[in-house]
Every structure is written in structure tokens, then in C-alpha cells.
């Protein structure tokens, strides 16, 4: 009887040790290797980031190895990259011997699929580089990443050749970019670079003529992740005049300067302007008259203790994110001495915050719990000591992605802040409950959609509303739903679209595609209801929707409740 591979489904002849399709040992699935997911999806249009990965020198490697030894190498290689891709939410569409094809944005989209693809590519380079061939030479890979709109269709092929058909330029472009990448590098398309700029640095490789691509394309090599920095002069975009909220933050800052610290939580939908409101407060303060500490949560490091705080201390001391470790640790030690904090435990704290190059520094013989307690205690004392010299503004962005240790740090800071010259501004999304806000004094600000007049001001500042047809302006206002980020992106799309301004006003910009599709994908069955409703128009009633669905959906009301809860549909009672 044929033996089916547990990873790719290839039908192998009995008696073989390794799969003829992907190289996985047939004695059982390895700990690292995961079966390829096989979502049952109908064809649909969506934005996709595609990654091609290839093992460098596999042909030469095969010449010097017994076939079974080569299988061992390939299996180890595949196990490593499968683990990385699973971590970042990618979908392995196909194993191709020593290479693979991966989708980010299918079968479930995320708001940051391009970033997920680039992060996974860099991680793959690292983990594969730690593997060695039989001769002791480190293995190397090269990768290409491209983003574009595609139609994901039905399953084609069978066994090892099975994959979901993707119609569009992105897969071919990703394959060609992989072909020009050097060993140990990842090359990305212009569209991908735009989506992740500010998160990674790049080296421009010039415009290339690539086989199968109609026009020459700009190409970029990913260099590295950019260290987090947040200063009043780094915020892009247009600020919206939320006068009441700004005035309240200004009052809270004056109270903090007087020694009555505050803790304020700003919540709202993605793109509503939470971070920008905090930025406006910082930009209105006199330079040098306050200290600024900034950190942000990340969906990629939810299980890494204190990960958001890795550059927090540097910011409070005015150090650049890319400061060399020797000089920066000298500054920190000097500040500790000035504040009267013992320096003996600080190296282990730095290690815990991921900011020391010496991974051999021990945690002072403490248990993990003791070390965490000491870290929290030193950080709070450090903040209190600095605040005696000058008032501090601490901005904590995206609390919905804080790890448990960072949440505990925030809870302790909240309980202590009322006696410090510190104002803490926390932002999080509307669907997240920041529970520590009940443990101490806290003020909440909930940001809502903007009125049309403010949205018109954003359009005018970007493209000049008077230069657009009234119908185009109305379409931007209607399609943005009063969300500042959506207004900005639609206005930019209109500005860059040439003569096709009306069409651009009705399209979802590339920068918003993943976010909106991700919200839809998480809705389950309600997603189909949303798609049917969209064919009716931006305004629809329940009766017409129920009559449109065939057969009538028994769970229609539940689906509509889910859409309202996700902020994708708004209920208007007549």
C-alpha cells in the first residue's frame, strides 16, 4: 500500500524512509514539521504577500552526499523554516524539494502581513545559518518577497504538487526577486517596502528587468529591523483638531508637573488617532523641560517578558535607539549613582530588557520570580528618581499586545504614579479591556469617528479639496467612515491616481487592505454576510439582506451583531 506523507500528502511507494515530495521522514512527523494547512475556501480577491525561499548550493550539496544523507539535511532545513513560518502566521502553500512557497494573508489575513513575511524571512536566514551540512559548512538561503492583489482560487494539483491557485503578479514577482537575491539575503518589491518602511531599513538594488514581468521593477534588499524611536518630530501625517481631548491632556500634564501624577488610557478603533493625540501633547511641550519615555506592544512578542521595554530606559535618558552599548551603559551607571540606586543588579536588569550584548550575564543568582520582582522595583525607582529632576511623559502604545510582565509593570506604575511628576498615556484598541485601569487612579478617553468637517480638512491638507470634483470628495468622506487614517490613505490614493480619481476614492488603499481583510477573516460565517451586504451598498436594511441570502441565513442576526461589534457595520434605528 502507498504511504502518504504526513506533511505534504505525497503518495510514496512502500518501504521508503523519506517522502519523495518534501523530504520529511516517513516514520512519523518530526517535532518541528507541521502538516500543510488545507483550508476549504472558494475563490476570492484579496491582497497577498508571497515569499519564495530557496536553499543555496543544494545541487552541489547533492553531489557529495548519499541520497538519504541529503534527505536528512533537507528535512532538518524544512523543519526549521516551517516552525518560523507557523510562528508568524504564514501558510506554506507548497514544498518544492529544497524550496518553498509561502502566503501571508491567506487563508487568514492580518493587518501586518507584509511585516510578518519580512520578519519570517530574516528569522529563516538566521536559523538556517545555524545549521551545517555534513562538511561543517553553514547552510544558506535566499528569499524573495512581493505584495499584490490576487485572486486565490481552487486547489490545483495533488499530493506534493497541491496548492491553492493564485492569479496575479505577486507570486511570479516573488520568485524572480528570490532569483536575484544573494545568499543570506531577502529582496522585496516596492509594494512590500512601502508597507514596512519605518520598521526595516533597506538597500536599493536599482530597477531590474525580470523575466515574465512586463515593466522594470524597483528592488530592495532588507538590511535590518529599525530600532524603535518616537519623538515629537517623527510623527507623519495630518493632525486632527480634537480640542476637548487635547485640553484635558494639557490639564493632566500641568497637574503632573505640580507633583500630582496621572494615568490616562486612550482607546479607539485602529487609525482613529490614539497615538497622534499623545504625540500632540509631546510636541506642545518645551524642549528640554521634560523627559520622554516611549514603548509599544507587538503581536510578535507576546510571550517575551518585558520585550516592549527594550529601549524604554534609553529614551528616558535621551539616548538614541542605536547608541553603542559601551557608552550607553556608562550613561546608565552614572544616572544610577546620581539617583542613589545600587548598580550591582542593573546588568541583570539590562539583560532582561534585551539591551546588553553579553548574554552570559547571570541574573545574580535569583530565581526568575525574584529577578522579575527586582527588575520591576528598580524600574519604578528609576522612574521616580528621574521625575524628581524633571517631569516625565511616558507613552505606552498598543497595550493590547503587552506581555504579562509588561502589564504587571504598568499596574505597579499606575499605583505609584499619583505621587510622582509623571503622566502616563496608554493607548489600546477598542476591543481590548485594559483591566489594570481599575487598580488605581485612571482617566479614560474614548476616541470616536470624526465629523465631516474635520475629515474635509484632512482631504484639503493632502490633495486640496477645491481641486477635486465634489463627487470624489463625497466618496472619500463616505468611504472613510470618519476614521482619520482611512481619510488620509484614501486622499493620498486620490492624489497619486492621476485622472482616475473617482475610481481611487472607491478602492481600499494597499496600506489598509490587510487590516480590513484581517478583521473580516476573524468573523467566521459573518464574513460572507458582510460580503453579500456590500453588494447591496453602504446602506442596507435587514429585510433586504435576508431576502438576498439564499437560503435565508438562520444566524443572520448573530452575524449582524458580530459585524456591529467589530465596527464594520453601524446600526441606524429609524
In a domain, 500, yes or no: yes
In this structure, are 58 and 79 located in the same domain? yes
pLDDT higher than 90, residue 392 = yes
In a domain, 336, yes or no: yes
pLDDT band (50, 70, 90) for residue 103 = very high
pLDDT higher than 90, residue 185 = yes
531 or 510, greater pLDDT = 531
Averaged pLDDT, 421-435: 91
Q: Are 397 and 295 in contact (CB under 8 A)?
A: yes
263 or 163, greater pLDDT = 263
Domain boundary among 176, 196, 225: 225
pLDDT higher than 70, residue 98 = yes
pLDDT higher than 60, residue 553 = no
**How many alpha carbons fall within 13 Å on the CB side of residue 478?**
13
Q: In b/e form, how buried is each residue of 440-460, taking b as 16+ CB within 10 angstroms?
A: eebeebebebbeeeebbbbbb
Averaged pLDDT, 268-291: 86
Averaged pLDDT, 352-376: 63
Compute the Cα dihedral for 412, 416, 420, 426 and give only its sign.
positive
Number of Cβ within a 10 Å radius of residue 165? 15
Number of Cβ within a 10 Å radius of residue 315? 22
In this structure, are 381 and 284 located in the same domain? yes
452 or 416, greater pLDDT = 416
Question: Among the ranges 268-282, 305-319, 506-520, which has the highest mean pLDDT value?
Answer: 268-282
Which pLDDT does position 20 carry in this prediction?
A: 42
In this structure, are 112 and 176 located in the same domain? yes
Which pLDDT does position 336 carry in this prediction?
A: 74
In this structure, are 461 and 347 located in the same domain? no
pLDDT band (50, 70, 90) for residue 265 = very high
Q: In sequence order, which ranges of 481-566 are alpha helices (DSSP H)?
A: 484-496, 501-505, 510-521, 526-536, 542-548, 556-565
Q: Which three cell numbers stand for residue 526?
A: 459573518
Which pLDDT does position 235 carry in this prediction?
A: 54
Q: Who's near 547: CB < 8 A, 6+ residues apart?
A: none
Whole-Å CA distances, 400 to 297, 421, 435: 7, 26, 11
**How many alpha carbons fall within 13 Å on the CB side of residue 405?**
23
DSSP 308-374: GGGGHHHHHTT--TT--HHHHHHHHHHHHHHHT--STTHHHHHHHTT--S-TT---TT--HHHHHHH
50, β-bridge pairs: 103, 146
pLDDT band (50, 70, 90) for residue 194 = very high
Strand 141-156 to 44-55 pairing: antiparallel
Domain boundary among 508, 532, 555: 508
Which pLDDT does position 574 carry in this prediction?
A: 59
Which pLDDT does position 438 carry in this prediction?
A: 63
The domain of 541 spans 523-574
In a domain, 272, yes or no: yes
Where residue 109 sits, what CATH number does that domain have?
3.30.70.1230
13 or 510, greater pLDDT = 510
In this structure, are 360 and 402 located in the same domain? yes
Q: Are 6 and 30 in contact (CB under 8 A)?
A: no
pLDDT higher than 90, residue 358 = no
In a domain, 552, yes or no: yes
pLDDT higher than 90, residue 97 = no
Averaged pLDDT, 403-416: 92
Domain boundary among 424, 446, 468: 446
Number of Cβ within a 10 Å radius of residue 34? 16
In a domain, 13, yes or no: no
Which pLDDT does position 495 carry in this prediction?
A: 74
pLDDT band (50, 70, 90) for residue 118 = very high
Which pLDDT does position 17 carry in this prediction?
A: 47
Averaged pLDDT, 247-269: 94
In this structure, are 433 and 457 located in the same domain? no
pLDDT higher than 60, residue 205 = yes
335 or 457, greater pLDDT = 457
Q: How many helices (H) and strands (E) does the chain have?
A: 20, 15
* Nearest of 170, 46, 183 to residue 105 by alpha carbon: 46
Which pLDDT does position 159 carry in this prediction?
A: 47
In this structure, are 500 and 543 located in the same domain? no
Question: Among the ranges 128-137, 223-232, 406-415, 535-544, which has the highest mean pLDDT value?
Answer: 406-415
- For the ranges 39-48, 164-173, 231-240, 404-413, the lowest mean pLDDT is seen at 231-240
pLDDT band (50, 70, 90) for residue 30 = very low
Q: Are 513 and 48 in contact (CB under 8 A)?
A: no
For the chain, the C-alpha Rg in angstroms (whole number) is 26
352 or 78, greater pLDDT = 78
pLDDT higher than 90, residue 166 = no
DSSP 260-283: --EEEEEEESTTSSHHHHHHHHHH
In this structure, are 466 and 322 located in the same domain? no
In a domain, 515, yes or no: no
In a domain, 1, yes or no: no
Averaged pLDDT, 352-357: 56
pLDDT higher than 70, residue 4 = no
352 or 487, greater pLDDT = 487
User: What is the domain count for the chain?
Assistant: 4
In this structure, are 488 and 533 located in the same domain? no
How far apart (Å, rounded) are the C-alpha atoms in residues 453 and 399? Answer: 31
Which pLDDT does position 233 carry in this prediction?
A: 52
In this structure, are 150 and 176 located in the same domain? yes
Averaged pLDDT, 324-342: 71
Which pLDDT does position 228 carry in this prediction?
A: 63
Where residue 384 sits, what CATH number does that domain have?
3.40.50.300
Residue range 298-311, pLDDT digits in tens? 988 888 888 888 77
pLDDT higher than 50, residue 8 = no
In this structure, are 412 and 360 located in the same domain? yes
pLDDT higher than 60, residue 31 = no
**How many alpha carbons fall within 13 Å on the CB side of residue 503?**
5
Which pLDDT does position 304 carry in this prediction?
A: 85
Which pLDDT does position 558 carry in this prediction?
A: 81
In this structure, are 95 and 212 located in the same domain? yes
pLDDT higher than 80, residue 135 = no
pLDDT higher than 60, residue 13 = no
pLDDT higher than 60, residue 157 = no
Which pLDDT does position 357 carry in this prediction?
A: 40
Q: Are 128 and 141 in contact (CB under 8 A)?
A: yes
Which pLDDT does position 387 carry in this prediction?
A: 93
Amino acid at each position: 500500500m502507498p504511504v502518504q506523507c504526513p506533511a505534504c500528502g505525497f503518495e510514496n511507494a512502500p518501504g521508503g524512509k523519506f517522502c519523495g515530495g518534501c523530504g520529511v521522514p516517513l516514520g512519523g512527523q518530526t517535532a518541528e514539521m507541521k502538516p500543510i494547512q488545507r483550508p476549504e475556501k472558494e475563490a476570492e480577491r484579496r491582497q497577498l504577500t508571497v515569499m519564495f525561499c530557496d536553499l543555496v548550493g543544494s545541487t552541489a550539496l547533492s553531489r557529495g552526499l548519499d541520497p538519504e544523507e541529503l534527505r536528512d539535511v533537507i528535512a532538518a532545513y524544512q523543519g526549521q523554516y516551517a516552525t518560523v513560518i507557523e510562528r508568524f502566521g504564514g501558510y506554506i502553500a507548497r514544498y518544492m524539494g529544497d524550496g518553498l512557497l509561502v502566503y501571508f494573508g491567506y487563508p487568514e489575513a492580518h493587518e501586518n502581513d507584509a511585516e510578518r513575511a519580512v520578519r519570517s524571512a530574516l528569522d529563516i536566514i538566521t536559523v538556517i545559518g545555524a545549521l551545517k551540512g555534513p562538511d561543517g559548512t553553514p547552510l544558506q538561503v535566499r528569499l524573495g518577497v512581493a505584495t499584490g492583489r490576487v485572486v486565490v482560487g481552487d486547489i490545483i494539483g495533488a499530493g506534493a504538487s497541491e496548492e491553492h491557485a493564485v492569479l496575479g503578479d505577486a507570486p511570479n514577482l516573488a520568485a524572480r526577486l528570490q532569483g536575484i537575491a544573494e545568499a543570506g539575503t531577502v529582496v522585496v518589491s516596492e509594494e512590500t517596502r512601502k508597507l514596512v518602511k519605518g520598521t526595516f531599513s533597506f538597500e536599493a538594488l536599482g530597477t531590474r528587468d525580470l523575466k515574465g514581468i512586463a515593466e522594470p521593477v524597483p528592488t530592495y534588499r532588507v538590511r535590518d529591523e529599525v530600532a524603535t524611536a518616537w519623538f515629537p518630530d517623527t510623527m507623519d501625517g495630518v493632525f486632527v483638531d480634537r480640542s476637548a481631548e487635547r485640553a484635558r491632556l494639557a490639564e493632566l500634564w500641568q497637574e503632573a508637573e505640580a507633583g500630582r501624577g496621572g494615568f490616562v488610557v486612550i482607546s479607539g478603533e485602529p487609525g482613529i488617532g490614539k497615538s497622534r493625540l499623545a504625540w500632540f501633547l509631546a510636541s506642545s511641550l518645551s524642549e528640554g523641560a521634560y523627559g520622554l519615555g516611549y514603548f509599544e506592544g507587538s503581536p510578535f512578542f507576546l510571550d517575551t517578558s518585558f520585550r516592549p521595554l527594550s529601549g524604554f530606559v534609553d529614551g528616558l535618558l535621551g539616548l538614541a535607539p542605536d547608541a553603542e552599548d559601551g557608552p550607553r551603559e556608562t550613561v546608565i551607571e552614572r544616572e544610577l549613582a546620581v539617583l542613589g540606586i545600587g548598580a550591582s543588579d542593573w546588568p541583570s536588569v539590562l539583560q532582561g530588557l534585551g539591551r546588553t550584548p553579553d548574554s552570559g550575564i547571570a541574573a545574580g543568582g535569583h530565581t526568575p520570580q525574584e529577578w522579575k520582582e527586582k527588575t520591576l522595583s528598580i524600574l519604578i525607582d528609576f522612574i521616580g528618581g528621574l521625575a524628581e529632576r524633571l517631569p516625565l511623559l511616558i507613552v505606552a502604545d498598543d497595550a493590547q499586545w503587552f506581555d504579562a510582565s509588561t502589564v504587571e509593570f504598568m499596574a505597579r506604575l499606575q499605583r505609584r504614579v499619583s505621587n510622582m511628576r509623571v503622566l502616563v498615556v496608554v493607548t489600546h484598541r477598542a476591543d481590548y479591556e485594559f483591566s489594570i485601569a481599575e487598580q488605581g487612579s485612571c482617566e479614560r478617553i474614548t476616541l470616536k469617528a470624526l465629523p465631516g468637517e474635520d475629515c474635509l480638512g484632512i482631504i484639503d491638507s493632502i490633495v486640496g479639496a477645491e481641486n477635486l470634483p465634489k463627487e470624489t470628495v463625497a466618496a472619500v468622506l463616505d468611504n472613510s467612515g470618519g476614521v482619520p487614517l482611512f481619510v488620509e490613505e484614501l486622499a493620498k490614493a486620490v492624489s497619486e491616481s492621476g485622472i482616475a480619481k473617482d475610481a481611487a476614492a472607491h478602492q481600499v488603499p494597499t496600506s489598509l487592505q490587510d487590516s480590513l481583510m484581517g478583521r473580516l477573516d476573524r468573523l467566521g460565517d459573518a464574513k460572507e454576510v458582510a460580503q453579500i451586504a456590500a453588494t447591496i451598498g453602504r446602506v442596507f436594511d435587514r429585510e433586504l439582506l435576508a431576502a438576498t441570502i439564499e437560503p435565508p441565513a438562520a444566524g443572520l442576526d448573530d452575524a449582524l451583531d458580530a459585524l456591529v461589534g467589530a465596527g464594520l457595520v453601524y446600526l441606524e434605528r429609524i
